A = this chain, B = another copy of it.
Amino acid sequence: MRPKDFFEDFQVGERLITPGRTITETDLVLFAAFTGDWHPLHTDAEYAKRTIFKERIAHGMLGLVVGSALAFRMGYDVVLPKSFIAFYGMDRVRFTAPIKIGDTIHLESEVAELREKNESMGIVISHNEIKNQRGETCISYTTRILCGRRPA
């Protein structure tokens, strides 16, 4: 994918696959610390052993913020066009498989829909999947960004 200026520079079906990042024990501790969410499933090895996961797993939100930010490894203007106005939000965020310590995740993103809002703005809707090193989808979500249209 290339850097973009306007809504018109996106194409439905365009895809982006990012480099990976290994999720470490350090990441679990840092995320627990930053958010204050020390749920024992993420931070108590003895407790985690007795769950169906058998070990500590990453917070779903950890996977989401680390995985989604991987998009920016491709360059900010590949993801957010120069005419970027606002990050509307996310829909259908689903946590579908656990991320374990040592797993390496990456992001696959695809432009799903281009919706003209009015003469000057458009909405880019993308579908995103955060996958592990075995290709399993751990988290999926849809994003909506608002950006400017190319002046006539």
**A-side interface residues toward B, CB under 8 Å?**
19-22, 24-27, 29-40, 43-47, 56, 60-61, 64-66, 68-70, 72-76, 86-95, 102, 104, 133, 141
Contact = CB atoms under 8 A, between A and B. Distances in A.
Q: Which of A24, A27, A92 has the most CB of B within 10 A?
A: A24
Nearest to A22: B45
Given A27-B29, A30-B34, A34-B34, A88 B92 contact: no
Given A38-B73, A89-B93, 20 more contacts: A19-B44, A20-B44, A20-B47, A21-B43, A22-B45, A22-B56, A24-B29, A31-B34, A31-B65, A33-B34, A35-B66, A35-B69, A36-B73, A61-B64, A61-B65, A61-B69, A65-B65, A74-B75, A88-B94, A91-B91
Copies in the complex: 6
Nearest to A86: B95
User: Which 5 A-B pairs rank lowest in CB-CB distance, beginning with the nearest?
Assistant: A33-B33, A35-B69, A89-B94, A90-B93, A37-B69
13 contacts: A24-B25, A27-B34, A33-B33, A33-B36, A36-B36, A36-B73, A60-B87, A60-B89, A86-B95, A87-B95, A89-B95, A90-B90, A90-B93
B33 A21 contact: no
Contacts of A75: 74-75
